[in-house]
Amino acid sequence: MTSAGPDERRHRGRRLSLLSMAGLLLLSVAGSPPAKAASEGTDTLYAGQQLVALTAHDHLLSRSGEFHFSLSPDSIAVWQFAPLDGPKGPSSTATGTWFRDDPTGRHQSSTDHSVLRLRRNGNLVLMTSRGYLLWSSHTGGTGTHNRVVMRDNGNVVMYTGAGKRVWSTRTTPVYLAAGQRLLSGKQMVSRWGEQQASVKAVLRLTMQTDGQLVLRCNRNVLWHSRTHRRGSYLIMQKDGNLVIRGPHGQPQWSSHTAGAGPYTWFDAMALEILKDTGSLRPIWHVELGYSTPC
């Protein structure tokens, strides 16, 4: 396999301009029907349309600009671009939350103009430029007017023409930037390790309704906050402090990192707070005490 592995494709702390990433060009490849045109910056891929790797624009962009469903020569992936802001101006930090490729590695390449196509039978397929199938959503026969949407909640969803969900990546944000919250009963989920043959790991950080903040790998509990105020929520404050607050705002737990300031964010899967000051450094983390994801 000539392409970079999933760990190499995970980019942490990269400061990128969302404007430079905006837009989507739907193209056709030789020997296939022409793809329909789509407006720049679209969040939707319609039946009969396709993305092509190594073109100027090869991704769906959520309306908020925070999430991308991106095609590379050998894979498709969901990326979060968490917004950062401070005295030097706005920027972002990126991480992958889900990916799929050819698990055999036989047809992967780092230079091919691979195609992600939503066929008119409802199936979403990743193919090489020569037509070798790398991955499929297995949704053929679900409809002739399906569409795939990169949503603002971090999930990529396929809908039928009648609006029924038939497939999704089941992904969420995994970073909390300044001012962002994880509400009571909600989860942050990374499926980046789901396709790995050795582990098939799904990481979940859950703000439970009983007030506990819990990190799990599959069903294994890796860490919990030992807080018990029902209805509590988690917030990454603008002062750099990560806080669990009760339903009326009373603090229940804190990372004690107030004063860290701008360009600071929380990585929910690694349980660490990072700061970008030109060089990336963690300013707080939890020792999880495990050597493999699960």
| 176 touches 154 (CB < 8 A) | no
| pLDDT(14) > 50 | no
**What is the rounded CA–CA span in Å between residue 161 and residue 149?**
13
| pLDDT(212) > 60 | yes
pLDDT digits (tens, 9 = 90+) for 73-129: 989 999 999 999 988 899 999 999 999 998 877 877 889 999 999 999 999 999 999
Tell me the pLDDT of the chain averaged across its residues: 85
Provide the pLDDT for residue 88: 87
pTM of this prediction? 0.85
Provide the pLDDT for residue 289: 67
pLDDT band per the 50, 70, 90 thresholds, residue 262: confident
Provide the pLDDT for residue 69: 97
**What is the rounded CA–CA span in Å between residue 135 and residue 127?**
7
Per the listing, tokens 């493999």 go with: 292
215-223 long-range contacts, Cβ below 8 Å, gap at least 24? 215/268, 215/269, 215/271, 215/288, 217/290, 217/293, 217/294, 218/294, 220/294, 222/288, 222/290, 223/271, 223/286, 223/288
**What is the rounded CA–CA span in Å between residue 151 and residue 63?**
7
Q: Name residues whose C-beta falls within 8 Å of residue 258's C-beta, 6 or more positions apart in sequence.
A: 237, 239, 240, 241
**Which domains does the chain possess?**
6-168 (2.90.10.10), 175-285 (2.90.10.10)
Q: Which of 29-43, 111-125, 151-165 has the lowest mean pLDDT?
A: 29-43
Mean local confidence (pLDDT), 187-209: 90
Region of residue 30 (phi > 0: left; psi between -120 and 50: alpha; otherwise: beta): beta
With pLDDT > 70 as the criterion, what percentage of the chain qualifies?
83
**What is the rounded CA–CA span in Å between residue 283 and residue 100?**
32
